[in-house]
């Protein structure tokens, strides 16, 4: 098949599309319909997203420029042009975020008893308490560093908050510059002051002052005998991507640990943030010391590092937060939860193993609406304790620090079962955590492997092998999300529990591919990257095009995190021109231009941003009336299709297919938390405009589950 090509003018730059996504996140923070502390949360997410964007994407573009590469992006832009457009796109968003914090969020929180005060606004008693706190909890760990001919410019660690101090010697009259790093590792960003010291009426519930201000207004204790003439805050962002070659598996952990040490020491500075009021001469000194260009400088009119606003969610004010969502046990698994009597025994008549449920039929899970703990974790726990289970194999990409699943795998190994865990050491920003898990699992007798050389293992799969009546039966879990208890309550994800023999055989061969020297090129039902997923997805799109040309029902509905693959985009354009209706729900980056006359008239793209991070991927094809649906871990991106190990499974049960189609239709029909993509890459938010308000996440929370009750 000839390689389809997308003309540059028909492609949205992926970096600018990502900025548009983060703008939609910021819109949640700016919305008056978002509870106040949730506004703080979304502002923190916006900042955290931006930090990672600079550490990885901007750093990559700058590395290309440094290497003299002028490779054009798919939309025809050079690395330098992309950096200019990134800056132009970000500056107004940063001002919106800071204006919201200064002029709205702080004042509204104060009206509800939450005071985020500047040091200069503290009362005398409050200042006395803060100064005493500084001397007892902060002063001993500070290290002021002078900059002069005898003291070179100090190393500034990645994402650290710093105080630039201007100091004058009263004896010589000479002005000097010093840097003080704000100690954030074991201290809160917002130092809480006892409320009884407040002179406001009524007494506030929470009063705090930023940690960096506590340091800045006590500088005279660090430089006794000197005159403090000014202090200004700054922060740097460094290249934090880890480049790992195709190393022998035995060398991978050592190489990764060295890479992490380098990351902590820091790569090149890719962004310098300074307080807006910082004098030009201080800015020039910092720019020279950090070796940044003018376009890397960002003047911020407000506090730096607003990702720390996330800590405000700990304030016990439920009326300023979303109502707690606890989820429920999937209907089909209701009797699989062990009910214990007072003596510790289990009521046998009220208990049914997950394995017996799966022998009757597939179970579809939708988190966080279906509890992760009573479904996926219970599946692993029962496998660990069941004497008939012989083996457990699973992939671990990201998992929580106190993971019940890790504990279950260790227990299974101690129970004498064959346990294999593929721990992906290269999961970005989780590498250190995964190294620790890998060592703990190995010490417990679990067989730990680190994946396929040259590929990142991103698939989320588990295989349980059980002996039943002189035969072996396989039970599988295939999911869109990680085996992470924490994110399972924050992300929307889908999972399939099944005992279908063909899927079990595919999973066994896929694990052989991951752990051995298998060169498996074909699978029965699974679509597996990098072997069959790309050609499988391309064939499904081409089939819809053929159906349309023959006058048969032709429609594609898909939901994913990102769509940037040029070949997939080209095929979708061809499908649209053939008459295929294409409806896409893309959370983040989308490089396809919908609604272009003669190119993509039949393609519509929307994005849903809500309380939970949309993370599920599902793909529905009308197929001339014989509908097919798939779920899995892969987005339509080159890295997922070509450079990662991914698994996408068909949904065989007609009732589950129907329920998933109902689910994706509910995303497409959302009229209050959805955004419509325009052909120029902009997104416009939908509003009910007289219709009944439909917000899919809210409806799922409230119990309208779109028929997603699990079916046994």
d(CA 372, CA 330): 9
d(CA 222, CA 167): 11
Judge whether 285 and 147 are in contact, CB under 8 Å: yes
Nearest to 456 by CA among 422, 483, 480: 422
Judge whether 247 and 453 are in contact, CB under 8 Å: yes
For 542, phi and psi rounded to 5 degrees?
Answer: -60, -35
- In whole angstroms, how far apart are CA 473 and each of 56, 389, 496, 510, 527? 44, 9, 17, 16, 22
Q: First CA to last CA across the chain, in angstroms?
A: 42
Residue 563, classed as helix, strand or coil, is strand
Judge whether 303 and 192 are in contact, CB under 8 Å: no
d(CA 304, CA 388): 56
- 182-195 burial, b at 16+ Cβ within 10 Å, e below that, comes to bbeeeeebbbebee
Residues 6+ apart with CB under 8 A from 703: none
Q: What are 497's strand-pairing partners?
A: 363, 477
Judge whether 145 and 180 are in contact, CB under 8 Å: yes
DSSP 508-526: HHHHHHHHSS------SS-
Please list the active-site residues: 458
DSSP 342-367: TTS-B-GGG---HHHHHHH--EEEEE
| Residue entry with tokens 């600079």 | 54
Judge whether 267 and 240 are in contact, CB under 8 Å: yes
d(CA 234, CA 223): 20
Give the distance from CA 35 to its chain's centroid: 22
Give the distance from CA 281 to its chain's centroid: 38
Long-range contacts of 414-419 (CB under 8 A, 24+ apart): 414/444, 414/445, 415/384, 415/385, 415/387, 417/384, 417/389, 417/390, 417/391, 417/392, 418/390, 418/391, 418/392, 418/447, 419/391, 419/392, 419/393, 419/445, 419/446, 419/447
- And the tokens for 697? 């996440």
d(CA 610, CA 695): 9
Residue 612 C-beta-side C-alpha neighbours within 13 Å: 27
SS3 of the chain: helix, strand, coil, percent, to 5: 40, 20, 35
d(CA 304, CA 159): 10
Give the distance from CA 400 to its chain's centroid: 13
- In whole angstroms, how far apart are CA 167 and each of 365, 443, 545? 61, 54, 71
| Residue entry with tokens 């416009």 | 684
């Amino acid at each position: 098949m000839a390689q389809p090509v997308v003309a540059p003018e028909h492609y949205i730059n992926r970096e600018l599309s990502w900025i548009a996504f983060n703008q939609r996140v910021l819109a949640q923070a700016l919305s008056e319909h978002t509870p106040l502390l949730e506004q703080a949360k979304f502002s923190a997410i916006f900042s955290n997203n931006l930090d990672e964007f600079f550490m990885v994407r901007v750093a990559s573009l700058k590395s290309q420029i440094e290497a003299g590469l002028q490779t054009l992006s798919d939309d025809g832009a050079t690395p330098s042009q992309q950096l200019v457009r990134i800056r132009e796109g970000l500056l107004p968003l940063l001002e919106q975020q800071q204006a919201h914090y200064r002029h709205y969020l702080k004042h509204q929180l104060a009206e509800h008893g939450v005071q985020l005060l500047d040091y200069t606004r503290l009362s005398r008693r409050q200042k006395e308490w803060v100064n005493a706190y500084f001397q007892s909890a902060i002063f001993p760990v500070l290290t002021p560093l002078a900059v002069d001919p005898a003291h070179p410019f100090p190393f500034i660690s990645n994402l650290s908050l710093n105080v630039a101090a201007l100091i004058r010697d009263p004896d010589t009259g000479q002005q000097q510059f010093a840097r003080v790093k704000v100690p954030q590792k074991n201290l809160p960003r917002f130092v809480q002051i006892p409320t009884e010291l407040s002179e406001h009426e009524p007494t506030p519930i929470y009063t705090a002052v930023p940690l960096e201000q506590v340091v800045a207004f006590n500088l005279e204790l660090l430089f006794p005998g000197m005159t403090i003439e000014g202090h200004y805050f700054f922060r740097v962002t460094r290249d934090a991507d880890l480049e790992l070659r195709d190393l022998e598996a035995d060398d991978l952990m050592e190489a990764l640990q060295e890479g992490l040490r380098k990351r902590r020491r820091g790569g090149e500075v890719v962004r310098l943030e300074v307080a807006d009021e910082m004098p030009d001469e201080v800015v020039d000194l910092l720019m020279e010391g950090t070796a940044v260009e003018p376009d890397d400088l960002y003047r911020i009119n407000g506090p730096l590092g607003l990702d720390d606003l996330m800590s405000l969610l700990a304030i016990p004010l439920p009326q300023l937060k979303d109502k707690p969502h606890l989820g429920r046990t999937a209907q089909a698994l209701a009797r699989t939860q062990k009910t214990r009597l007072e003596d510790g025994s289990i009521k046998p008549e009220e208990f049914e193993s997950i394995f017996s449920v799966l022998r009757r039929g597939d179970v579809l899970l939708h988190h966080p609406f279906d509890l992760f703990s009573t479904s996926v974790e219970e599946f692993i726990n029962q496998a660990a304790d069941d004497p008939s289970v012989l083996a457990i194999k699973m992939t671990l990409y990201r998992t929580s620090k106190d993971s019940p699943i890790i504990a279950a795998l260790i227990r299974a190994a101690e129970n004498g079962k064959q346990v294999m865990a593929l721990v992906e050491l290269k999961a970005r920003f989780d590498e250190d955590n995964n190294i620790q898990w890998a060592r703990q699992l190995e010490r417990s007798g679990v067989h730990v492997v680190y994946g396929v050389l040259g590929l990142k293992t991103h698939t989320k799969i588990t295989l349980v092998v059980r002996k039943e009546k002189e035969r072996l039966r396989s039970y599988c879990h295939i999911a869109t999300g990680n085996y992470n208890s924490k994110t399972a309550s924050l992300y929307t994800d889908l999972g399939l529990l099944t005992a279908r023999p063909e899927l079990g055989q595919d999973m066994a061969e896929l694990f052989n591919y991951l752990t051995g020297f298998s060169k498996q090129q074909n699978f029965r039902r699974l679509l597996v990257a990098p072997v069959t997923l790309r050609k499988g997805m391309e064939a499904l799109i081409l089939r819809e095009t053929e159906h349309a040309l023959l006058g048969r029902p032709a429609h594609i509905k898909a939901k994913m995190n990102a769509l940037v693959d040029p070949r997939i985009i080209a095929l979708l354009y061809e499908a649209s021109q053939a008459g295929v209706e294409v409806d896409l729900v893309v959370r983040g980056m989308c490089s396809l231009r919908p609604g272009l006359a003669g190119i993509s008239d039949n393609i519509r793209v929307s994005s849903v941003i809500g309380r939970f991070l949309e993370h599920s991927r599902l793909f529905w094809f009308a197929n001339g009336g014989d509908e097919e649906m798939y779920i899995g871990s892969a987005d339509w991106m080159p890295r997922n299709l070509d450079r990662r190990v991914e698994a996408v499974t068909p949904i065989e049960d007609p009732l589950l297919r129907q329920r998933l189609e109902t689910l994706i239709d509910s995303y497409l029909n959302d009229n209050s938390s959805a955004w419509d993509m325009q052909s120029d890459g902009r997104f416009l938010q939908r509003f009910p405009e007289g219709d009944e308000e439909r917000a899919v996440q809210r409806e799922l929370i409230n119990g309208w589950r779109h028929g997603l009750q699990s079916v046994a």
